[in-house]
Amino acid sequence: TMASKALLLLLICFFSFSSSISGEFVKVSVKGVTTIAETDDNFICATLDWWPANKCDYGQCPWGNAGILNLDLPNVILYNAIKAFNPLRIRIGGSLQDQIIYRVGNSVKNCPQMRKQKDGLFGFSKGCFPMERWDALNDLFNKTSARITFGLNALMGKKPANDGSINWVGDWDPRNARDFIKYTASKGYKIDSYELGNELCAGGVSARLEPDQYGKDLSLMRQVVEQIYPDPKNRPKILGPAGFFDKEWFKTFLQNTDPNVVDGVTHHIYNLGAGVDPDLINKIQDPYFLDQIAQTFKEAAAVSQSFAPWSKPWVGESGGAYNSGGRTVSHTFVNAFWYLDQLGMTATYNHHAYCRQALIGGNYALLNTTTFIPNPDYYGALLWHRLMGKKVLSVSHDGSPYLRVYSHCSKNRSGITVLLINMSNSTTFDVNIVNDRKLYPSCNGGRLKAREEYHLSPKDGDIQSDVVLLNGTPLRLTPTLDIPDMSPKLVDPTSDVSVSPDSYVFVTIKDFRASACA
């Protein structure tokens, strides 16, 4: 009959609709007996860059006054945003660092103001860094307990090869750098590490050095630092080469440095392509695309281990999309799918730290360039820093590739923390987290502690929103411009973790018996 046909059609529509929003059960198995990798305690890192206000890409100039020479250092939000990490690792460097002259000592007679210059590297002239500005920066770093990596100019004393390539030749002249390091040490400024050059390795970007020459230069930098800091206990570490990974170039560089010269092998990641790419938002949500960079992390770790086993690989700079990021994407909620996945992935490949480009400036910053209000990724980075310890655990599931899962021993507490990222825009994943040794839940009759969950999702379900919700409540600065408290939702530990479409969750399980975390 017509009535029964209509009812059948209604039921088909109902079940089709139900299945489109229904949950998918996933069992996630965590191996807690041994670790698979280890990061630094301060794995999260953010960069400050030298770009002036007139750095423009694709008809827009997104840096404003966020560059090192112009940044509003007394800004209360900036202070609170750095202080909240206690400590935040900050890397000072970027494209223009190899044109920066330090106004200190007698080795340099001319210290010009940076300006646009057509034939200059990246379209800019050399620029002057006054010590008064360095003092002001260190006042902020000291008050906020920041851990500083400073990138030095590696082209001092060198000149272009003039052979049709972008190669520069000659030995590094360390005099200006030595005066700068001496000044820094005499002031008692705490420096975690010095890095030499920016993106001069592999094929280079605007300039390039041969790997054997760079190895020689870095060895000289090590000598300079050791002379100024004779006590190894307070001596800054040495990092390099701060550019895109190329296996042969990195191998040759490390073979041309003496043992224990380099402490951190730094490489840069912009695996999402150009910021102007209209496909950027789709790449960020494509697990197959995101997986393609894993080989780079694996090879960088392997080269570091094989040719400089005393060192650790770092991601020294990573903005995802180059040329200042995507104007409508890189500062919004959706970028977390790329960023948090990168953090999880690099940690599994034994990387020491991951420096996000940028703390402020461009479209990809953790803080808004003009208002300083935190963008969504700031809160993801802060939660990682507070919850994920340095020991990395193996974790697996046989569900959809759109569910990404990472697990670490919890930071400064018992148990584990699991990060669940749901890149699907239609499927809720109901996740049962199990111990592969079947030691959780405990069967000793004791009462399990409540599970702690931090669910992060975009405001109004709009993945291009600048506002992120924590357990349904928008994260906004307090009336005194402090970073808001981020409290977990306490959940029955025997229930599944429900991960909504387009969201991610940090889950802390205090009772999870992982011997690797003991």
| Sign of the dihedral through C-alpha 5, 8, 10, 13 | negative
| Bridge pairing between strands 147-152 and 193-196 | parallel
- How many whole angstroms separate alpha carbon 66 and alpha carbon 359? 9
For the chain, the distance separating the N- and C-terminal CA atoms, rounded to the nearest angstrom, is 68
Burial (CB < 10 A; 0-12, 13-18, 19+), residue 490, is exposed
Secondary structure class of 445 (helix, strand, coil): coil
Report how far residue 424's alpha carbon sits from residue 418's, in angstroms, rounded to the nearest whole number: 18
Q: Burial of 443 by CB count in 10 Å (0-12 exposed, 13-18 middle, 19+ buried)?
A: exposed
Q: Indicate if 199 belongs to the active site.
A: yes
Give the residues across from 44 on adjacent strands: 354
Contact 29, 396 (CB under 8 A): yes
Give the residues across from 405 on adjacent strands: 420
Strand partners, 100: 127
Structure tokens at 275: 């910021």
Dmax (CA) of the chain: 98
Strand partners, 305: none
- Residue of 334, 340, 373 whose CA lies nearest to 354: 340
What's the CA gap between 3 and 385, in Å, rounded? 60
Query: Which residue of the set 38, 195, 210, 317 is catalytic?
Result: 317
Q: From the candidates 38, 195, 199, 452, which is the catalytic residue?
A: 199
- Is residue 226 part of the annotated active site? The answer reads no
Q: Is the dihedral of CA 480, 485, 486, 489 positive or negative?
A: negative
Just list the catalytic residues.
199, 317
